[in-house]
């Protein structure tokens, strides 16, 4: 924990500083949600096809999901969500007329969550 997943549109591959974003987000998760830095894990998933509304072209999407162990207040989750969006503004640059649709969600991991480290 935290489990962070970032889905992003393929046209952003060269303009999204993923390493910088993950490092900055991990620092924010530690500061805002009292996580341990060594527990922060981020996976990036590139999506080849993005359609927004009826328009298959000209759009890019980034969606970040942050899963935390239960116990954080709604205020803490909202602060982390806002911080995540601000980091996306800094680490994702769009080229030309590409419209960026960025979103984030901070949620509790299910009570069934378990992990192991080998």
pLDDT digits (tens, 9 = 90+) for 58-98: 899 999 999 999 999 999 999 999 999 999 999 999 877 88
Higher pLDDT, 29 or 117: 29
The ranges assigned to domains in the chain are 3-108
The arrangement of secondary structure in 3-108, i.e. its CATH architecture, is 2-Layer Sandwich (3.30)
Residue 100 has pLDDT above 80, yes or no: yes
Taking residue 102's Cβ as centre, other Cβ atoms within 10 Å add up to 16
Dist. CA 116–CA 92, nearest whole Å: 32
- HEC profile of 41-75: EEEEEEECCCCECCECCCEEEEEEEEEECCCCCHH
Question: What angle, rounded to 10 degrees, do the helices at 18-33 and 74-91 form?
Answer: 160
* pTM score above 0.75: yes
Residue 55 has pLDDT above 90, yes or no: no
pLDDT at 1: 80
């Amino acid at each position: 924990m935290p489990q962070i997943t970032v889905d992003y549109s393929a046209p952003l591959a060269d303009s999204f500083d993923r390493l910088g974003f993950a490092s900055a987000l991990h620092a924010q998760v530690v500061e805002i949600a009292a996580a341990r830095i060594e527990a922060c894990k981020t996976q990036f998933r590139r999506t080849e096809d993005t359609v927004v509304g009826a328009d298959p072209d000209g759009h890019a999407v980034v969606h970040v999901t942050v899963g935390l162990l239960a116990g954080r207040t709604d205020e803490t989750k909202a602060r982390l969500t806002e911080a995540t969006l601000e980091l996306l503004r800094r680490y994702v640059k769009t080229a030309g007329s590409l419209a960026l649709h960025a979103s984030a969600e901070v949620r509790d991991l299910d009570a069934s969550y378990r992990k192991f480290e080998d």
